[in-house]
Structure 1
Amino acid sequence: MVERGRPQARRPFHGRGQDGAGVKRVLVIGNATVDVILSVRHLPAPGETVLAETEFRCAGGKGLNQAVAAARLGVPTTLVAALGEDADGRFLREALRPEPVQTGWLASPHPTDISIISIAAGGENAIVSTAASARWFSAQAAVAAASSLGAGDILILQGNLTEATTRAALRTARAREATTILNTAPIAWDQRGIAAEADIVVANAGEAESLTGFVDEAAALSLIEAGAGAAIVTRGANDALLADLASLVHLPVATVDVVDTSGAGDVTVGTLAGALALGRSLPDALALALAAASLSVTRRGTTPSFPTVEEMRRLVARA
């Protein structure tokens, strides 16, 4: 449970370095994986073996996914991630070539990370990932990447990297007046004290409860009291909560026929960052992000399900 006690220096979130000087840049420091996606009738219970009906592979990983989503909005986007010198690493390099993402690949001595994603008929999923290359990503490398940020640029981080690497990147970015977004998934280390390092914390309902000991609105407000400039708690098909020191609002989620929820949170985070880089307000950026995620869950896969560049243009025009 986070310690109660409101920080003195916080104000309602308005973004850092937003000087109106055009479109800003998004930098994603995170992981990249080969996703092996298995369609199953139901997710296996402990000790149960089930047979997959289909299998396919695609580019994935929270960092890669978020970078693709931001870039498809037309925002200058860079992904810095570690890949092994192996067939999976080559697969990911080739998979990103058609995407409007600038890449800074680090050569890891470990195998390229993979995720095994089982998807049930109703769209629910269970994911197991390796993280040796992501955990190898050093604090020094993160500082070097974050040092390229300018005032008003956006940095996205997730829970895949080590605590030391994550904190180093956040502090470097904030010193350069960039806006920092921390997506808490996966919770691989104790993140309860890191909210104060981030301008925006994004967590799903389960993660928010794990971090704060509270649920729903109380969880969002607890993240603010812990020091986050703004907190977003996504609640699946229900809605999303957006809180800062001035307000707490509910944003609706469109009702759709769900096929596969894999990557929905990443679409949300990446589109949110891209919309902020385009100059949208935080509520407007989140509304656009939720619309993009609602479209992605109607299709199978992670990056293959994300809105295309043209679909993003249409979403922006309607938002």
Structure 2
Amino acid sequence: MSRVLVLGNATLDVIQRVDRLPMPGETVLALSTARCAGGKGLNQAVAASRTGAPTLLVAPIGQDAEAAFLADGFRDEADLDVNWLICNAPTDLSAIWVATGGENVIVSSTDCASSVTSDQAHSFCDTLAAGDVLLMQGNLAADVTRTAAQTAQARGATRVLNTAPIAWDMKPILGLFDIVIANEKEADLLTAGSPSAAAALRASGLHTAIITLGARGALVISDGIETTIDAPRVAAIDTAGAGDVFVGTLAGLLANGMILSKAVTVAVAAASLSVTRPNTTPSFPSRAEITILAEELGCP
């Protein structure tokens, strides 16, 4: 059975809900504060595993209370195995502010994420096989990302890159991935100077690019053809982590053998469901909910 390897980061998410996001120099009072496991790598691994695809998360953490909190949170998560890379830095932290209506801003530390080496990336990706899926994000260094993609390519695995966050020039390595997923702001950054990010990505030679559109769904650009997948209308209360639900769900469904168009449709619906709930990983759809969504959408 094909599996998903997520090579990425893990963070302790500290989420504060506010009436509105503060202006520069302004202090606002939080309505509530919550702590939960997060980080793009961890989030996407959880979402992938809930499609039923066997998933391995490889992520660095420190040797502190925050690391123990993360490790304890997913011991019983079905279909998810974790290989923690222990480092000397403090476990990475994401500070998340969520305004009424769901808009959010996030600042993440990368002390642990920066410790992952190319040798480690090669070692884990060298275990991949044809049909497996490598899923990466922008948290790791450029050389680590390149090594992982090249190793997975040599093994015949499908390579998926979520460009968030863009912390270095990703353009030289995009062609190493079969599927590149970016939100609208990231797509604009990747195609700076072009009047149309979609047109630029279509002309770039990428096999498949997906631009996530928030409440409007997703735009799939594959083999030069553009297809928009609409999102269902929902009442959003917290959009933090929704992009990770989309990416992880998509990767898991692809590993399960679902075709791209159907996988994107289910992933959009899963992300839409997550924004109706508070916080990051606690808002993610369960495996049963993913199954129901797929059946309702005619995507078995």
TM-score by length of 2: 0.96
- Per the alignment, residue 222 of structure 2 pairs with 244
How big is the shift at 1:311?
1.0
Matched, 1:110 2:89: yes
Q: Which of 199, 212, 219 in structure 1 is aligned with 2:191?
A: 212
Matched, 1:138 2:117: yes
Matched, 1:128 2:107: yes
Q: Secondary structure at the match of 2:161?
A: strand
Once the two structures are superposed, the pairs formed by residues 224-235 of structure 1 within 5 Å of their partners are 224-235=202-213
The aligned amino acid for 2:137 is Q
CA deviations 1:192-216 (Å, max 9, x no partner) are 2221111000000000000102679
CA deviations 1:59-84 (Å, max 9, x no partner) are 00000000000101111000000000
How big is the shift at 1:315?
1.4
Matched, 1:173 2:159: no
- Per the alignment, residue 178 of structure 2 pairs with 199
- Per the alignment, residue 16 of structure 1 pairs with none
- Per the alignment, residue 59 of structure 2 pairs with 81
Runs of at least 4 residues of structure 1 off by over 4 A? none
How big is the shift at 1:224?
4.1
- Per the alignment, residue 14 of structure 1 pairs with none
Matched, 1:155 2:134: yes
C-alpha distance in structure 2 between counterparts of 1:96 and 1:257, whole Å:
28
C-alpha distance in structure 1 between counterparts of 2:73 and 2:172, whole Å:
36
CA deviations 1:246-295 (Å, max 9, x no partner) are 41111101110001000000000000001111111111100010010000
CA deviations 1:151-176 (Å, max 9, x no partner) are 01001000000000001001110111
How big is the shift at 1:128?
0.6
Question: Contact 1:156/1:182 (CA < 8 Å) preserved in 2?
Answer: yes
- Per the alignment, residue 50 of structure 2 pairs with 72
Question: Contact 1:208/1:214 (CA < 8 Å) preserved in 2?
Answer: no
C-alpha distance in structure 2 between counterparts of 1:213 and 1:203, whole Å:
14
The aligned amino acid for 1:234 is T
- Per the alignment, residue 290 of structure 1 pairs with 268
Question: Contact 2:194/2:200 (CA < 8 Å) preserved in 1?
Answer: no
- Per the alignment, residue 119 of structure 1 pairs with 98
- Per the alignment, residue 45 of structure 1 pairs with 23
How big is the shift at 1:98?
2.0
CA deviations 1:130-181 (Å, max 9, x no partner) are 0110011111111111111100100100000000000100111011110000
C-alpha distance in structure 1 between counterparts of 2:53 and 2:261, whole Å:
19
The aligned amino acid for 1:116 is A
C-alpha distance in structure 2 between counterparts of 1:221 and 1:271, whole Å:
26
C-alpha distance in structure 1 between counterparts of 2:248 and 2:57, whole Å:
11
- Per the alignment, residue 271 of structure 1 pairs with 249
Question: Contact 1:197/1:228 (CA < 8 Å) preserved in 2?
Answer: no
Q: Unpaired segments of 5 or more residues in structure 2?
A: none
How big is the shift at 1:109?
1.1
TM-score by length of 1: 0.90
- Per the alignment, residue 188 of structure 1 pairs with 167
C-alpha distance in structure 1 between counterparts of 2:268 and 2:258, whole Å:
14
Q: Secondary structure at the match of 1:237?
A: helix
C-alpha distance in structure 1 between counterparts of 2:217 and 2:255, whole Å:
23
Matched, 1:91 2:69: yes
Q: Unpaired segments of 5 or more residues in structure 1?
A: 1-22
How big is the shift at 1:317?
2.0
- Per the alignment, residue 289 of structure 2 pairs with 311
C-alpha distance in structure 2 between counterparts of 1:297 and 1:119, whole Å:
11
Deviates more, 1:252-261 or 1:308-317: 308-317
Question: Contact 1:146/1:173 (CA < 8 Å) preserved in 2?
Answer: yes
The aligned amino acid for 1:51 is L
Q: How many residues were matched structurally?
A: 296
How big is the shift at 1:222?
2.1
